[in-house]
Structure 1
Amino acid sequence: LSSLISQDSASNDPATSRARARPSKTPKSDIFTRHNKGTQKRAAADLADDASPASQVHQRTEDIGSVDAATLHRSKRRMQEKARIYGDLRSGMYLAGESDEDDDEAGPRKDPGGDDYLARLRRKEREGLVDFDRKWGDEERMADVDEADDDDDDDDNASTVSYEDELGRTRHGTRAEAARAKAAQESSAADDPERWRPTRPDNLIYGPAVQPLAFNPSTATTSQMDYLASRRDRSPTPPEETHYDPDKEVRTRGTGFYAFSKDEEVRRRQMEELMHVREETQREREERAERRAHRERVRDERRGKVAELRTRRRADTFLAGLGGDLAAGSGVV
């Protein structure tokens, strides 16, 4: 025991015991505190770029190169040639001579007239996507229409006149509209002077007259009447009596179902018996209801009499007790 006590005291001695280690001021590196690699270097490069801003540099002709005069002259000459060909196509110069249908499409070839340029124009017109004939015709037509409209507007719309249309109404319009209305009236008057009015029937009957066709109809009328009569419904009127056939379908019926006979006499007798039984049932119900009402009435009368006797007995008992109390009180005095 002495050895154990000495060992325990030695372990509790602060001089001999080891102190607890202090936590480190520098935290341990882990995945949450580790910085991205190269961040400091990139930040320094960004600061250096901000310190020296870049200036915009424009490139000059010497840097990107230039087009020589020969190329410009060749392009200008080609554009002029295309413009000339397009103008000649619009003017219809390719129609100056007969076109050669067998011209080579790969390159120009001399036509029988010896004009290479006309052959080239014909080939361009044949291979082109624009129909210059139609385009020229449309332009000429539009120009004529515009010119005619301008002339009509200048002549007809110079003043407003009053005219009468084909229905007899007074209208206000231009001279051209008045001329058209007059021409329409003249043409309609030649055909039918009152074409806007309904035509009057020719078979009207004026005054009293006998119509013999009602007594002696024609063959067409007779055939039509026979046709209508054949289409008429010829079912008997009134229709035949039809009754419900209980044997026609198999089904479960209620308790009150009654299957009547198909024979008319037997059916009539069954219905009479059924009506007689129904009348007896109704009479029995009425008699039973009357007896019930009579019993209720007798019961109510009996209850009234019992209540009256009970009230009278209570009154007699009260009066007897009151008289006894009065007699006892007078004897005491």
Structure 2
Amino acid sequence: MTPSTSLYGFPKPQKVPKEISSSNTLAFTSTLTPLISTAQKTSSGRPRPSKNRPNIFKTQKKTSNERNVQDVQNGSRYISNENKNVKRQKIEAVDEAILHRSKRKLEAKAKIYAQMKRGEIPENVETLVDFDQKWAEHQDAGSDSDLGAMSDDGQESLIEYEDEFGRARKGTRAEIEKIERQRKVALLSTEELGRMSARPAVPSKINYGDTVQSMAFSLDEPVAAKMEELAAKRDRSLTPPEMRHYEADKEVRTKGVGFYQFSKDEAVREEEMKALEKERLETQKRRKEREDKKKQRLIEIEERRKAIQEKRAIKQADSFLNNLDNELNALEPSK
């Protein structure tokens, strides 16, 4: 098979060049021209920023005229904003109660700040920051730096002390001295605030409610002397208490057989009590006599019993001897 023939032996057809029409040429030209123009304009690199972009770090200082112009512009803008706000407030009304409450809270805060500036805060107010303590710690920081450091071997002696709450604690000598200094500084600062304050401090000991105050007022010396003289002349004998007795008619219950109703008259009551006491003594006397008679009778009975036993024993012994004698006599003739 030759190159000029095909697989089946047929000759290959010869290639005939195609004729390009004018319409196809114009269409190709119109399509290629915009592609070439766009390819020249675009680039594959990153776009660079413009050199005319303003830099905030390279702004020049404004002159006085420029500042005046800027102030006028800002003022006109502020006035326009105020007008807008006024219109907005007219549209959206605010509750008067909320405004009044906010105003009162701000006034209370302003008073507290003014008192803090003047140093008129009482001691019982729980503020978030203790300025006196901070000042004392700042003063003691420099002087206690060498005292608070431990020795090289770390074996500093511990001393037992009592804190402000009465509890037993242990600490070094430097710590104890620091605590004592803090107490003194706090006491001095409190006294200084009390002297410098325009408003007097709140008393710490105030009695509220029904409280008996024996030393609420002080008497003058002559009045006190007269009262002592009258107290010395008065009768110091003990006043007898009021006689109060049991009243059976005020208690609703069934009384026992041995219940006795005393009279409400004191004289009659005394006589009744004496009669009862006499009857009691007589009863005890008769009871004792009866018990003595009973004991004496028991003794007599015991003596009679012993005598009867002795007689019985003698009688039994005599009968035994008689029987023995009879038996012996009966055995003798048989022998």
Q: Give TM class, smaller chain.
A: 0.3 to 0.5
State the TM-score, normalized to the length of structure 2.
Answer: 0.33
Answer 1 or 2: higher relative contact order, Cα 8 Å, separation at least 6: 2
